[in-house]
Chains A and B, each alone.
Chain A
Amino acid sequence: MATWRSAGIVAVLLALAAASGSLGVQLATQVLVLWCFGLSYQLLFGRTGMLSFGHAVSFGLAAFGTAHAVRALGGVPVYELLPLAGAAVGLACGVVLGYPVTRRSGIAFAMVTLGLGELVAACFLMFPGFFGGEAGVTLQRTRVPSLLGLDYGRGVTQLLLTAAWTAAVLLGVRWLSRTPFGLATLAVRENAQRIEYLGFRTATVRWVSMLVASALAGVAGALSALAYEIVTVDAVSLHMSANVLLMTVIGGLGSLWGPLVGAIFLTVMQSVVSDWTRAWLFYYGFVFVVLVWLAPEGITGLWQAARRQRPALRRVAIALVFALLLVVFIETAYQLALGEPTRLPGWQHLGPGALKGLLWASGLAVALLLARGLRRSNDTQAIA
């Protein structure tokens, strides 16, 4: 039941975004593309336990592949099926790159995927024909006519197509998690040695899981190429790989809604908070680090825990005060270091003396609260 209710909420939010004009449509499209990408990552990391630092390779190459497909297919009415081209590119990435990579697991796998991501990103200057050099590859999505006769020049129709494909990916991941293969991926994550004794080839399970995840990431890459009509090298870079990792962990790996929460978080940070402060990446990383340290289940996990047991008002208040002080400290430090005023209200009235005072006061308060929190958590761990 909860699933249907959540699906209903998402549908209502989508309708609201579509009604609210072009900015809403743009943000909603971005959230959906990231959700789709996050779902593929959840399959890889959340379910199979493969921490990849190079997942953007399939996403990015599929985006480039789709861009070239749009250029080549001008006039052929297959627009709705273009994400399949992305899936094919992603699958090919999984076949070629996944085979050597999945021979390792755990820490080595993480390091190797990082290297592989760099390998592909290093190629972009070598093959300007495919990657389009620094400027990237642009495309015009209206060049490929629609199969259903819809007009994709409008953002709303594109949003609908993105939503449909994301829903398909969501249902696919949901179905897969209930098949014997889906259970095998969980088992490989929990105890690979035991699964090996039971007669499974864990490397094969890992590889197949990576194949599926790469194909789904390819769908997301294609959707992003079609939505933005430009693909740059950033799509294959470590930045994109880090984004999907951070976002999925922040949202929570436990449920399929986790990546959605993460996608909304990232979109809000990228598109709204970044208008106010250039320190948004710092806050983004800070939230990630704090969640990894305190609440590995992410925001959805915190939400569920809060529903089971109402958190003490005192702790919530302390957390809010800490967050506020941290923001004050970072914004002040930022203004002092770079001399560029932050766009948050209030700061522009402060002179250099007041700024220094604020920096020291808020810094001291943040340090004290941090030390207190660390000591507390160490104490509770000593008891446990």
Chain B
Amino acid sequence: MDLLATSLLNGLTYGFLLFMLAAGLTLVFSLMGVMNFAHASLYMLGAYVGAALTGPLGFGWAALLAPVLVGLGGCALERWLLRPLHARGHVAELLFTFGLAFLIEESVKLVWGAGSVEYRFPPALEGSLFNAFGTPYPVYKGFMVGVAVLSLAGLYALVAHTRVGLVVRAALTQPLMVQNLGHDTDRVFMWVFGLGSALAALAGVIGGAALTTEPSMAAQLGTIVFVVVVIGGLGSIQGAFLAAMGIGVLQTLLIAVDLRLQQLLPPLGHPLVAALGELKISQLAPMTPYALMVAMLLARPRGLFGQREA
């Protein structure tokens, strides 16, 4: 029981981290049609910049400044590099952002080295927040969930309840009309891209401290975030939320299960199947998101809440 509860809590925490990335990715995609392969690299940059700033400024300022810096970098990236590519279509943008992800990983290795850097939460966040069925739930995980919920609520309020959000929502469906009404949609796009980048960097600031800050962190989380977005349906924020939580919980739960497949299945005679039965359930955990994705493609190619066959 306690194992189940802790796994569930950890899974939800991980799910929130995934959703912070998926939300920015989805927002940018539905607005501009750009699937940013370098999104997870911005997450990694957030972690590294946060780590670099924590030394001189302390964790609080670093957590505030790193997203701002990376967000401004995202604005510049959109304005100077992505916008000229837009006319050439989605494949060019995909290729470009893929190359950018490659380049960012190599740059990070050049600047900070190929190993991981020392980056932890400050001691103030080390203690335990409450006891869930006898297992302590650390404060920093509560902090992660808090930051995620706050930033996402802020994003929602911005998009749903402000004039800026009104323009953004209008530009989603009718960009030309919005432009004709005198709004600079290009600038709106740039700021939305910057906002998405800042959100990814914020996720990096907390994710990097909770997990490890290393050059492969972008590739590790990035593919899972793409799986989340595909399962949820491209461009659907509700779908991304459900998929992020589902994958977060499922992956954490499976790691905790200490069973072999043969203990669940009826005994099978064939040696090949018997070899499969030797596998531990926890060994299956890394591949569950991808297996889910394949299953979703077979059953429902457009994802949970996808609007169209893209």
Interface residues, chain A, with chain B CB atoms under 8 Å away: 49, 51, 53, 100-101, 103-108, 110-112, 114-116, 118-119, 122-123, 125-126, 129, 238, 242, 245-246, 249, 279, 281-282, 285-286, 288-289, 292-293, 296, 330, 333-334, 337-338, 374, 377-378, 381
Q: Measured between alpha carbons, how far is A279 from B113 in the docked complex, in Å?
A: 12
The reply to whether A118 and B290 form a contact with Cβ atoms under 8 Å apart is yes
Q: Measured between alpha carbons, how far is A321 from B74 in the docked complex, in Å?
A: 28
Q: Which residues of A contact B294 (CB under 8 A)?
A: 100, 115-116, 119
The reply to whether A107 and B234 form a contact with Cβ atoms under 8 Å apart is yes
The reply to whether B94 and A381 form a contact with Cβ atoms under 8 Å apart is no
The reply to whether A107 and B310 form a contact with Cβ atoms under 8 Å apart is yes
Secondary structure call for the B interface: helix
Q: Is B273 an interface residue (CB 8 A)?
A: no
Q: Is B229 an interface residue (CB 8 A)?
A: yes
The reply to whether B219 and A108 form a contact with Cβ atoms under 8 Å apart is no
Q: Which residues of A contact B35 (CB under 8 A)?
A: 107, 110-111
The reply to whether B80 and A126 form a contact with Cβ atoms under 8 Å apart is no
Known: A114-B226, A333-B110. A107 touches B94 (CB 8 A): yes
Q: Measured between alpha carbons, how far is A119 from B292 in the docked complex, in Å?
A: 10
Q: Which residues of B contact A249 (CB under 8 A)?
A: 95
Known: A111-B35, A114-B223. A242 touches B102 (CB 8 A): yes
Q: Which residues of A contact B301 (CB under 8 A)?
A: 103-104
Q: Measured between alpha carbons, how far is A288 from B106 in the docked complex, in Å?
A: 13
The 5 nearest A-B residue pairs measured at CB: A119-B290, A289-B99, A282-B106, A285-B102, A285-B103
The reply to whether B106 and A51 form a contact with Cβ atoms under 8 Å apart is no
Q: Which residues of B contact A378 (CB under 8 A)?
A: 80, 84
Q: Which residues of A contact B88 (CB under 8 A)?
A: 296
Q: Is B3 an interface residue (CB 8 A)?
A: no
Known: A101-B297, A289-B99. A116 touches B106 (CB 8 A): no
Secondary structure call for the A interface: helix
- Sample of 14 further A-B pairs with CB below 8 A, known A245-B98, A289-B96: A51-B94, A53-B98, A110-B35, A116-B290, A116-B294, A119-B287, A119-B291, A122-B287, A122-B290, A279-B110, A288-B102, A293-B81, A333-B111, A338-B110
Q: Which residues of B contact A100 (CB under 8 A)?
A: 294, 297-298
Interface string of B268-310 (1 = CB under 8 A from A): 0000000100010001101101110110011001000000011
Partner of A381, one of B84, B102, B113, B309: B84
Q: Measured between alpha carbons, how far is A285 from B290 in the docked complex, in Å?
A: 27
Q: Which residues of A contact B219 (CB under 8 A)?
A: 238
Partner of A337, one of B98, B112, B234: B112
Q: Which residues of B contact A285 (CB under 8 A)?
A: 99, 102-103, 106
Interface residues of B in 60-110 (CB under 8 A from A): 80-81, 84-85, 88, 90-92, 94-96, 98-100, 102-103, 106-107, 110
